[in-house]
Each structure stands twice: as structure tokens, then as C-alpha cells.
Amino acid sequence: MPRYFLEVGYMGTRFSGFQVQDNATTVQGEVEKALATLLRTQVVLTGSSRTDAGVHAIGNYFHFDVPSALPDKLPYRLNAILPADISVTSLRRVHDQAHCRFDAISRHYRYVVYQRKNPFMNDRGWFLPYPLDADILLEAADILLQTSDFTSFAKRNAQVHTHQCTLYESRWYPTPEGWNYEVRGNRFLRGMVRGLVGTMLQAGRGRIGMSEFKAIIEAKDNTLADFTPPGKGLFLCEVRFPDRYFEQPV
């Protein structure tokens, strides 16, 4: 059967997460419902990167199989019936063995911190009106590039076989509103980005020193990390696939 990759963006504020759940509104549930309406058959989606309740995405992926080729106008029709906080960015036919989760080579996240009260940022960032030490934030982000075991930053019940991750980018940069943290890696554990952000901000506020920050990493104990940052400040910006991935014959 033909396989397709569906790229979506969404504002996560009202969703209980990305993956379908019983008795909860999710991104996957809304997209499956829209596809069933248009195709008049049940479609089961496989997601690329699960996001928690309240987390947003600029670009995330599903893949799915259908009995026959889909019309070119399907993205337009999906956008017409999907809720306003979900949009379809692209629909691509791929080879039958393509997998949007296992074939991804990196994922890029952004966490937004704003430091002056701004009602227009309320659902798109974490309001943190405290002084932050820029040098400490930058140093902490650099240390993470030298780290491979992120056990301390994974929430319990992560259901993974390894806590090994490779980060390709980890940096803070100032914005007119406050600070953004950009991180890109081959994989991320459940709650990992928020745990990294919360613990680095503890250092940036002077609540822990750099020696303590390093000790938290080395302890491999998630009770020591800070998972306080809310989901509303987190954005999945991009899921990246190998070069020319979408040019493979189908």
C-alpha cells in the first residue's frame, strides 16, 4: 500500500499531547478524525516525535498507509476541516519501508523564556522575571555538548532501553523578550528538554553552582534535575531526515 509522510504544525495549548489517548483531545486524534472524514476509512497514524501536553510544534510528522494514491489537494482539504490550532504543511509519498520516527536523524527544539510580562507571550513561553547570568547559561549549555548520558534529565517511566543521546547543538541566545534555548540532537528522552532548561536556569539564577550542575549530570538521578518549566514554552522546530530522503523512488 502507498505510504505517506504528513507534516503538521500545531499550537499545543489545548491538547493533552501529541499521541492519541482515551478520553483526551490530542493532535493525533484530531488528524485521524479529519483523515477518516475525507477518506471515509479509518487511518492509523505513526508519529515521529511525541510531544507532551501544551507543547507546540512548527514541524512534526506522521506516516500512514492507504489502499490507493491520494489526491494532490488533500492537504488543502485537511486544513479546511482541521481545527485552527493544527495545520498540515506537506504531504509526501515515500517508499514503503520509510518510517518517520526511526529514519529521522535529528530533532530540533526551542524553549522560550520571557522576562517582562507580556500577555501575547503567555501561551508561547515561560514568564521568568528574575535576573539571569548570561555567562553561566552559556557555560552550562556548552557542558551538555560534552555529555552523552542524560539519565538525570529523563522523567520516570520513559520506557527506553538507553539514556544515551548525542547533542549537535546546545546554546542560549538573548531575545528582545528574554532568552531562547536551542537544542538539536539525534534523540530526546521524555521530559529531557524541560529538565535541561529548568536545571540550567537554576544555575543561571545562582541557585546552584557549576560544580553542582556537573554533579547532577554525573549522578544519573532525575530527582536532582528541575522539570519545572511548563510545556507552553517548548517548540519542536524540526525533524530532520537524511539528505535526498524524499527523493527516493516509491
Q: Give the CATH number, domain containing residue 193.
A: 3.30.70.660
Has residue 228 been placed in a domain? yes
CA 50/CA 18 separation, integer angstroms = 6
The rounded mean pLDDT for the chain is 95
Provide the domain count of the chain.
2
Has residue 43 been placed in a domain? yes
C-alpha cell read off for 96: 514503503
Q: Single out the residue in 88, 103, 118 at which a domain terminates.
A: 103
CA 120/CA 134 separation, integer angstroms = 25
Q: What residues does 196 pair with on adjacent strands?
A: none
- The whole domain housing 69 covers 3-103
Residues annotated as catalytic (active site), given as ranges: 52
Reply yes or no on whether the pLDDT at 87 is more than 70: yes
Has residue 95 been placed in a domain? yes
Q: Please indicate, yes or no, whether the overall pTM of this predicted structure exceeds 0.85.
A: yes
Q: How confident is the model at residue 215 (pLDDT cuts 50, 70, 90)?
A: very high
Q: Give the CATH number, domain containing residue 86.
A: 3.30.70.580
Cβ within 8 Å of residue 164, ≥6 positions away: 148, 149, 150
Residue 112 is predicted with a pLDDT of 98
Pair (34, 15) in one structural domain: yes
Pair (110, 94) in one structural domain: no
Residue 101 is predicted with a pLDDT of 96
- Residue among 241, 235, 238, 199 nearest 51 (CA): 235
Q: Single out the residue in 103, 119, 140 at which a domain terminates.
A: 103
Reply yes or no on whether the pLDDT at 98 is more than 70: yes
Residue 158 is predicted with a pLDDT of 62
Has residue 190 been placed in a domain? yes
Q: Single out the residue in 57, 88, 103 at which a domain terminates.
A: 103
- Please state the rounded mean pLDDT for residues 187-202: 97
Reply yes or no on whether the pLDDT at 76 is more than 80: yes
Q: At what angle do helices 134-145 and 210-219 cross, to 10 degrees?
A: 30
Reply yes or no on whether the pLDDT at 75 is more than 80: yes
Tens of pLDDT, residues 8-32: 999 999 999 998 888 899 999 999 9
C-alpha cell read off for 147: 555529555
Pair (131, 175) in one structural domain: yes
- Please state the rounded mean pLDDT for residues 32-44: 95
